[in-house]
Structure 1
Amino acid sequence: MLGDEVGIGITDPRDPEQGLLEAEYPAIASAVPKRRREYAAGRRAARAAMTELGLPPAPISTGTQREPLWPQGLVGSIAHCNTLCIAAVSLTHRSIGLDVEPAVPLPSDLERIVCTPTERHWLKTLPTNDRGLNARKIFSAKEAVYKAQYLVTSQMIGFEDVNIQFEGIDFTADLPSTLTIQSMSGQLRLVEDYLLGSVRIDM
């Protein structure tokens, strides 16, 4: 999905908390055990991805918006759901965004929060049984887009600020005109029981 020049790491967020470096502990000092396990799994996955690129292990601390702070010259993204954690890193891209979701329908009460009027109109054209899963795909695509754009713009945006259009496994995202990036493209794939959303921004 992201190309050969991107390192990938996969871990299980249910595993015991382990593998953190000293600079990473402050971010979870008061976190509940589940959050600590997820955070540690994300950092292990990121270092596994770094190893794929031949890079030495390095700490990945946390910014003010809970975003990973990558070592100089490196960009990446970390995503997890309850049973899978995945990280991607690159030395050759401007930005990367990842998301992983269980391949189950999005609860109907979240559809209006996540989806724009244009997206809801598209969902209404689909068979009823397909609507919830496609709403989940929109959610996953937006999560990947948010992470990718934040690395470049440092701007927070909401679900209502991104409009997703699918063409098979590919999607395009329209962003607000106030950002330095107004559009980007990505992929959304169904892999076993997971939806994997990815966006990369080239140099």
Structure 2
Amino acid sequence: MRRPLVQELLPPYAVGAETRADAPHEVLHPEERAAVAGVSEGRRREFATVRGCARRALTTLGHAPVPLVPDPRGVPRWPAGVVGSMTHCRGYRAAVVGWRRDVRALGVDAEPSRPLREGVLRTVSRPEERERIALLQAEHPHVACWDRLLFCAKEAVFKAWFPRTRRELGFRDVTVTFGGAGGTFRAAVLASEDPGYGPDEGPDPGRDFDGRWVARDGLLVAVAFAGATDR
């Protein structure tokens, strides 16, 4: 059996689970059912399936499966001591988790492997990123849709950043540099007058992220992470 695609992208102290199809009979906890009351059946299946992935990942991590209710911003409430992230796009659902003692921040995003609509790249990128993307597209045109991959990597960073800091980021507040076609990237949240400290953080929650990505089977998947400070 082929190793889960998302697991290829994770550091050794994190685990993931994925599926390519919704599970029509995935059981939701009462609190979760209440969170999706009134939504469409398709949205409910998507919600349930990705939480099934998350509970499988938690089990692999060594934590009992628990309800995963979204907060008012839609961010899953993970168990104490756990960092995690979920993603879903057409034909793909995945979740990643790790112990907080091992990983400060963890985010995953999946996107269809097709170019962004005209004009979107300029909205979600900085000038130097567009220059790098143009070079990558010229050097490795068959590896990935580089503009969509940039978007995907930034979404993964946002998912890693926001639960820790509770601060919004714009697309131009993050800069991403890909390590060529090798499946890695580095990302940094750019400094500003508002440092974005979380309520329970020390002087700096960390602005730099490592990342890995893969383009396969019509999908782009990216993971951003920051290891624990004492590692």
- TM-score normalised by structure 1 residue count: 0.90
Q: Cα RMSD (Å) of the superposition?
A: 2.1
State the identity as a percent: 32
Contact 1:13/1:38, CA 8 A, preserved across alignment: no
1:55-98: CA deviation from partner (whole Å, max 9, x where unpaired): 22101111121111101111111011110101111113222100
Contact 2:78/2:84, CA 8 A, preserved across alignment: yes
Contact 1:79/1:99, CA 8 A, preserved across alignment: yes
- C-alpha displacement at 1:17, in angstroms? 5.8
SS of the residue 1:120 aligns to: helix
> Mapping of 1:1-203 within 5 angstroms?
1-16=9-24, 18-91=26-99, 92-125=102-135, 126-127=137-138, 130=141, 133-168=145-180, 169-177=183-191, 178-179=195-196, 180=204, 181-203=206-228
Distance 1:15 1:148, change over 3 A: same
Structure 1, unmatched stretches of 5+, are none
**Distance in 1 between the 2:61 and 2:37 partners?**
30
Q: Which amino acid aligns with 1:172?
A: R
The more displaced of 175-184 and 160-169 is 175-184
Contact 1:172/1:184, CA 8 A, preserved across alignment: yes
Count of aligned pairs between the two proteins: 203
- C-alpha displacement at 1:191, in angstroms? 3.0
Structure 2, unmatched stretches of 5+, are 1-8, 197-203
**Distance in 2 between the 1:14 and 1:135 partners?**
28
**Distance in 2 between the 1:97 and 1:145 partners?**
6
- C-alpha displacement at 1:102, in angstroms? 1.8
- C-alpha displacement at 1:151, in angstroms? 2.3
**Distance in 2 between the 1:27 and 1:160 partners?**
32
